[in-house]
Homo-oligomer: A and B are copies of this chain.
Amino acid sequence: MPVTVAVDATGADLGPAEVARGVARAAQDGIHVLLYGPAGPLKAALAELPPASIEIIDAPVSIAKEADPARAVRQHPHASIVQAVKAVADGHAQAFVAAGATGAALAAGMSELGRADGVRRPAIAAQIPLPGAEVTLLDVGANATVRPEHLEQFAFMGRAFSQAVVGVEHPRVALLSNGEEKTRGTDLVREVHERLSKHSGLGFIGNIDGSAIPTGVADVIVTDGFTGNIALKTMEGVSTELFHLIKKTVMASNRGKAGGLLLRAPLRGLADTLDPELQGGAYLLGLSALGVIAHGRFSHVGFEHAVRRAGIAVEQDLLGLTLRSLESAGALRVRRKRSAPTDTVVVHDA
């Protein structure tokens, strides 16, 4: 049976037709897609492409731009993202992809799918593209405030993701801190360091500081959603600013322009390997099915990879791998009472 992925096509800056074009490429390779969005533009876009295994479900209501996503999910049960996630909850698909709107995807995921049994908190994993390596950083925004047991689980969730989806056989797992020494950091970080050190099968290599994030010394980097978001955004900001400064410097002289002309092709090759669209977006881990959040500004390339990666996660049984590794480490949450209130989760855009 082919993998089925439910896709919300409404949150993309370039419009639903762009999402359809990306999705169609992945669908031509054997993934079945349920595509939620305004039927008109979606049909028109697909009509121009080779046939693929895509079902369009007319869902013109988008909550991608709502300021309060949790409330928007409650108020708009027919919104495209809610329907797409519901399709997974109802067993019609095994993973979902949302364009843009991390907050809405997280809120819909929590309300329609809920957390995987034994998982305390969902986490958002981002991938830092490096030539020859892909570093997974989590959490980058689902939880501004966490407890040690949350970060402990994130380490296993990130490791399973790195193995199943990124393809790293023995991921090196690190904890982000303000220095390598285990005595550094907040009380939280010190306690998490101690917990992770006890899991011999985790591949924990200790603490790293911010300068080591982009070196590839660790495959999985664990942190809370506040710190992770700041690290990720800082990386994006510095890259953008540096490329901007270099371009400005190159263009400021004729000599520079001549040099820039010669370097255009090789540097474009470098930019291609660093292209975030190839990672498909951010990954919503810890729900009872995987969610992929493609960036709103992505072109069809990003959406294609988002659907492909969702397919890989299902084929490789990311969820099963996650739960088995948590279980064997004794890190699954035991629910004492079925009716006990569950952990709350801070829902906002990453």
A274 cross-chain contacts in B, Cβ below 8 A: 245
Are B245 and A242 in touch, CB under 8 angstroms?
no
Tell me, in angstroms, the Cα distance from A184 to B242 when the chains sit together.
27
Copies held by the complex = 2
CB-CB under 8 A for A214 and B187, given A256-B266, A262-B258: no
CA distance A187 to B145 in the complex (A): 8
Interface of chain A, main secondary structure: helix
Chain B residue contacts of A144, Cβ below 8 A: 178, 184-186
Query: For residues 24 through 50 of chain A, which have their beta carbon under 8 Å from a beta carbon of chain B?
Result: none
**A226: B residues at CB distance < 8 A:** 177-178, 185-186, 189, 227
Interface positions of A (Cβ within 8 A of B): 130-131, 141, 144-145, 176-179, 183-187, 189, 209-215, 225-227, 229-243, 245-246, 249-250, 252-253, 255-256, 258-263, 265-267, 269-270, 274, 348-350
Which residues of B are found within 8 Å of A145, using beta-carbon distances? 186-187
> Residue among A178, A210, A239, A249 with the most chain B CB within 10 A?
A178
The complex places the Cα of A52 from the Cα of B239 at a distance, in Å, of 43
Contact A229 B210 (CB under 8 A): yes
Given contacts A186-B145, A211-B233, A213-B237, A246 and B259 within 8 Å (CB-CB): no
| Complex interface: chain B residues within 8 A of A258 (CB) | 259, 262
